[in-house]
Amino acid sequence: MPSQQEFDVVVVGGGAVGENVADRASRTGLSVALVEHALVGGECSYWACMPSKVLLRAGAVLAAARGVPGAKDAVADATVDAAAVLARRDEIVHHWDDSSQVSWVESVGLTLLRGHARLTGPRTLLVSGETETEVRARHAVVLATGSEPVVPDVPGLADAGFWTSREATAAREVPARLAVLGGGVVGVEMARAYADLGSEVTIVVRGGRLLGNAEPFAGEAVADDLRAAGVRVLLHAETTAVRRDDGGVHLEIGAASGGPHPDASVVHASEVLVATGRRPRTGQLGLETVGLTPGEQLHVDDALQVVGVDDGWLFAAGDVTGRTATTHQGKYDARVVGDVVAARFHPDGADADGGPRAERDAAPWTRYRATADVAAVPQVVFSRPEVAWVGRTEAQARRDGIDVRVLRYDLADVAGASVASADYPGAAQLVVDQARGVVVGATFVGPDAAEMLHAATIAVVGEVPLDRLWHAVPSYPTVSEVWLRLLEAAGL
């Protein structure tokens, strides 16, 4: 017989998002359980953000030194020390040991349940671990079960064996030759990292450019860098078959529909990394017991409540919603849903309609609504050069019917960039809503561009008029002076 436990709130999934939901939800005194069947900390800490950034860092530092006369000769013949990078990666992921995160969970007063959770009906779950526990949530269940890689149905791929981002970020050895399927964020970051680590890399891209969700000039800059590093970039390329033999893995390449024939018809590699997107992890969650479809994303409203479930007890946040695909934005949603739950089911504040009106009637841009998810999402790709954008690209803005003006400036022409590097590659672009006179999108491409993004995020979220932005004076000589140049280009 399973044992039974009851909590005010049950959060399923102890990744970055679930941890933050649970912490915020407990702040008004609700009892909160966090259920995790693998490592507390989730994908980001052990197999995604953190290890991938470490794999990229040494190469980025060497590249930065190569741009500075006086330093560049010292590193002219230097290569990345792959063994040292992998050792640093092991430290950063705490050797895949989650005890420090478990300590934090306990220190903030949450109950950690180790095991796999499945819904068995409204507000009830079965948690299967070393023992089985029937868990009841008095008020709310929040699903934060993340996402899993999508593996394309290419003949022979499954039999040949392949890497996903997990194997790429946790590798113990650097393959002599790596084939990467997919030219999105994972594909681009891992192609660059493994090129630095010494692999001969080929990236197989269906479309005509890398980073299809970013501005085209960003993908072009990244492709130029990869090619300069010796990476073979195959555009308009479809992998039609894969096989493995003693000589390694062999990919047959055809033309993607509508495209010209790519530059190669076969790719030979030691390993193949599948980086063709991710889907919400909802297959084994018992969704059918509450009228939802297993395998599908969990549609949520701006309070992160799951649409189509009665009584307002089911919420979701993070990758599982298909609404966000980064840790920072998932954690933003986590703060919102945590605060919604803490307020709505406040032990002292619960009233006839289920919660304080301030939360129920909350307007956009209050702490109870994830308004920024709609058109102010920041994304950084730690490629070389880095690509960072927020809000809408030019194409998205036009699709949304906005009358846009696009302002672009070459970063090499900014004084700060010439100090940073004698050969600074990059550009910045603002997408301006002409009718409202505000920035609705911004893209920065260049070394350390990631660190310039937040100013643009504030401008987009704050809907700061251009004539007020004019008074935000960037310091001299920083690369951020590009803001001044862009505003001058706008006629200010």
Ligand X SMILES: NC(=O)c1ccc[n+]([C@@H]2O[C@H](COP(=O)([O-])OP(=O)(O)OC[C@H]3O[C@@H](n4cnc5c(N)ncnc54)[C@H](O)[C@@H]3O)[C@@H](O)[C@H]2O)c1
Contact between 346 and ligand X by CB under 6 A: the answer reads: no
Our CB check for ligand FAD shows the closer of 65 and 112 to be 112
Which of 69, 152, 161, 283 contacts ligand X by CB under 6 A?
152
Contact between 330 and ligand X by CB under 6 A: the answer reads: no
Q: Which residues does 183 contact at the CB level (< 8 Å), separation at least 6?
A: 203, 204, 205, 206, 207, 209, 210, 211, 212, 219, 233, 235
Which of 57, 206, 281, 331 contacts ligand X by CB under 6 A?
206
Minimum distance, C-beta of residue 103 to ligand FAD, in the bound complex (Å): 17
381 binds, among ligand X, ligand FAD, none (CB under 5 to 8 A by kind): ligand X
Restricted to residues 320-349, the positions that interact with ligand FAD (CB under 6 A) are 320, 325-328, 330
Which of 10, 380, 432, 460 contacts ligand X by CB under 6 A?
380
Candidate segments 10-18, 264-272, 369-377, 425-433, binder of ligand FAD by CB under 6 A = 10-18
Q: What are the structure tokens assigned to 53, written together?
A: 């950034």
Candidate segments 143-151, 289-297, 438-446, 458-466, binder of ligand FAD by CB under 6 A = 143-151
Minimum distance, C-beta of residue 484 to ligand FAD, in the bound complex (Å): 29
Minimum distance, C-beta of residue 40 to ligand FAD, in the bound complex (Å): 7
**369: alpha, beta or left, given left = phi > 0 and alpha = psi -120 to 50?**
beta
Minimum distance, C-beta of residue 297 to ligand FAD, in the bound complex (Å): 12
Rg value, the chain, Cα: 24
Task: Point out which residues pair with 314 in neighbouring strands.
Answer: 141
Our CB check for ligand FAD shows the closer of 42 and 355 to be 42
Our CB check for ligand FAD shows the closer of 235 and 320 to be 320
Concatenating the DSSP letter of every residue in 23-80 gives HHHGGGS--EEEEESS-TBHHHHHHSHHHHHHHHHHHHHHHHHHTSTTTGGGGTT---
Rounded CA-CA distance 374/210 in Å is 24
Concatenating the DSSP letter of every residue in 106-174 gives HHTTPEEEESEEEEEETTEEEEESSSEEEEEEEEEEEE---EEE-----TTHHHH--B-HHHHHH-SS-
Say how many C-beta atoms besides its own lie within 10 A of residue 91's C-beta.
9
Task: Point out which residues pair with 251 in neighbouring strands.
Answer: 242, 267
281 binds, among ligand X, ligand FAD, none (CB under 5 to 8 A by kind): ligand FAD
Minimum distance, C-beta of residue 206 to ligand X, in the bound complex (Å): 4
Rounded CA-CA distance 414/347 in Å is 56
Backbone angles phi, psi at 478, to 5 degrees: -110, 160
Contact between 165 and ligand FAD by CB under 6 A: the answer reads: yes
Token pair 């399923």 in the structure block, residue: 12
Contact between 187 and ligand X by CB under 6 A: the answer reads: yes
Rounded CA-CA distance 429/408 in Å is 4
Restricted to residues 211-230, the positions that interact with ligand X (CB under 6 A) are 212
Our CB check for ligand FAD shows the closer of 15 and 446 to be 15
Contact between 124 and ligand FAD by CB under 6 A: the answer reads: no
x/- mask, ligand FAD, residues 264-293, rule CB under 6 A, reads -----------------x--xx--------
Rounded CA-CA distance 279/287 in Å is 16
Task: Point out which residues pair with 204 in neighbouring strands.
Answer: 181, 234
Contact between 105 and ligand FAD by CB under 6 A: the answer reads: no
Minimum distance, C-beta of residue 317 to ligand FAD, in the bound complex (Å): 7
Nearest to 207 by CA among 182, 229, 224: 182
Contact between 457 and ligand FAD by CB under 6 A: the answer reads: no
Asked whether the beta carbons of 180 and 203 are under 8 A apart, the reply is yes
Minimum distance, C-beta of residue 214 to ligand X, in the bound complex (Å): 10
183 binds, among ligand X, ligand FAD, none (CB under 5 to 8 A by kind): ligand X
Minimum distance, C-beta of residue 123 to ligand FAD, in the bound complex (Å): 16
Report the alpha-carbon angle 326-332-335, nearest 5.
140
- For ligand X (CB under 6 A), the number of binding residues is 24
Asked whether the beta carbons of 187 and 202 are under 8 A apart, the reply is no
Which of 15, 59, 115, 184 contacts ligand X by CB under 6 A?
184
| Interface residues toward ligand X, by CB under 6 A | 152, 181-187, 189, 204, 206-207, 212, 239, 275-278, 325-326, 379-382
| Interface residues toward ligand FAD, by CB under 6 A | 12-18, 35-38, 42-44, 48-49, 52-53, 116-117, 144-146, 165, 169, 186, 281, 284-285, 318-320, 325-328, 330
